[in-house]
Amino acid sequence: MQEFDRFMEVVRELRKKCPWDSVQTHESLKPYLMEEAGEVLEGIDHLNAEGDSQNLCEELGDVLFQVALHSVIAEEEGLFTIKDVISGVESKMKFRHPKIFSPDDAEAVSLSWDELKARERQKKSE
């Protein structure tokens, strides 16, 4: 996905050169993430009421920017990268949807969502 790689380079460039972006921390960005998430909810309302898909698309982009910026900050701190975020959520979704990704695993397929989440928590604590 060349678009995503270019986008991440834009985020890294902003982090290096923009006076505002360069000083942000996970903590300082918390209110903006909350604000952007709220604007996504409003975008969904606009989509439902007015068929305005452009607004929702734009607001999802703003949330994506927040995820990218937090990931770049974490990368600078040696904590994790955007690839780790993507890999982690991919694994989580596959684990939580065994009917789709592991249909031959009868035991996993028989588990409820809550049981799958409990197993996930148990694996994390081991």
- Domain locations in the chain? 1-80, 81-126
CB atoms within 10 A of CB 27: 7
CATH number of 1-80: 1.10.287.1080
pLDDT digits (tens, 9 = 90+) for 61-109: 999 999 999 999 999 999 999 999 999 999 999 999 999 999 999 999 9
> For the whole model, what pTM was predicted?
0.89
For residue 48, what pLDDT band results from cuts at 50, 70 and 90?
very high
CA distance 15 to 111: 43
CA distance 120 to 94: 12
Residue 98 near residue 105 (C-beta atoms within 8 A): yes
- Nearest residue to 32 (alpha-carbon basis) of 70, 74, 79, 77: 70
